[in-house]
Amino acid sequence: MPTHDSELAALLGACRLLLRSILSRTRTEDDAGGWTVRLRTAKKHVDKAIMSLSLDEDAVKQMQDVPAGEVDRITASLTAHLVHDLLAEVDREHSAEVDERMAPVRDRDGFHGYNWAIPLPELMGFLQVQQKSGVLRVNTGGEVISLVFDGGDLIHASSDNSPPGMRLGELLVSQSAIDMLRLEHFLLRYGAAPGRLGDALEAAGLITKAALRRALDSQVAGIFQRLFHSRDAYYAFREGHSVAGPQVRRNVCQLLLETCRVRDESQRKSA
């Protein structure tokens, strides 16, 4: 194996080790910002190393222990994890802002309890029938889901820790509304700017209103599916009126019926 190819193979191996090291680091709440900075910095170094290789497919195939397409795989993996991390930051910041958009109703603080006492579908149906306005927060143990109601209708749904693939940006990528690299570049500029990510992407001309609606529909459907399957979840409802325009407006009863239908179909297929 030529010396030059051996050096390139060693560099690619170092890139793989760097990737594993980054992804295996334990992220702590008091060092969330530093973790992100290290990830961005590492990715920049890997990008520079890849640019310096200038490899074509034939050259990669001739290199021992370096499968064809490995450079692209490393780049794509780093980009995907960086985007996931940035989207997680956006979700956490947005979740904290939800209550700030609600004007409380005097003398009516709301209620709280566990879903083993009152199932969440029954609770949400009650909020719809009674035309309640306010925020319902549900702690499932793995995430805190926020549902904003206006006159009984659902106008916003979000999570502070969505499962992989279910954040809005990831759904937009999976539905081919935007590519991963363009989303990454936007997130690096977007940072902690106020406002909703979907609205910001649409305002920037990166996605269409129809694409945003499809992604939001998928996100809401996923949230309701997870709520249906949650056990020992704790919920708290605070009455109020949203001071921001709705991101979605859905009839909760229709959402519950659709969730039941999807669940029943899934059970029949697995039977």
Q: What is the distance between the alpha carbons of residues 88 and 164, in angstroms, rounded to a whole number?
A: 10
Shared-domain flag, residues 205 and 143: yes
Tokens read off for 245: 């325009």
Shared-domain flag, residues 183 and 86: no
Q: Could you tell me which residues are beta bridge partners of residue 144?
A: 139
Q: Is residue 80 scored above 70 in pLDDT? A: yes
Output 1 or 215, whichever has higher pLDDT: 215
**pLDDT of the residue at 72:** 65
DSSP 250: B
**pLDDT of the residue at 83:** 77
What's the mean pLDDT when you consider all of the chain? Answer: 77
Shared-domain flag, residues 120 and 224: yes
Shared-domain flag, residues 113 and 88: no
Domain boundary among 63, 95, 127: 95
Shared-domain flag, residues 224 and 239: yes
* pLDDT tens digit sequence for 11-61: 666 666 666 666 555 545 455 455 556 666 666 666 666 566 555 555 544
Shared-domain flag, residues 25 and 75: yes
**pLDDT of the residue at 3:** 52
DSSP assignment of 5-62, as one string?
HHHHHHHHHHHHHHHHHHHHSPP-GGGHHHHHHHHHHHHHHHHHHHHHH---HHHHHH
In the chain, how many domains are there?
A: 2
* pLDDT tens digit sequence for 81-136: 777 777 887 787 777 677 666 666 555 578 899 999 999 999 999 999 999 999 99
Could you list the residue range(s) of the whole structural domain that residue 148 is in? 99-270
Q: Residue 48 in contact with residue 2, Cβ under 8 Å? A: no
Q: Find, among 161, 124, 139, the residue nearest to 257 by Cα.
A: 124
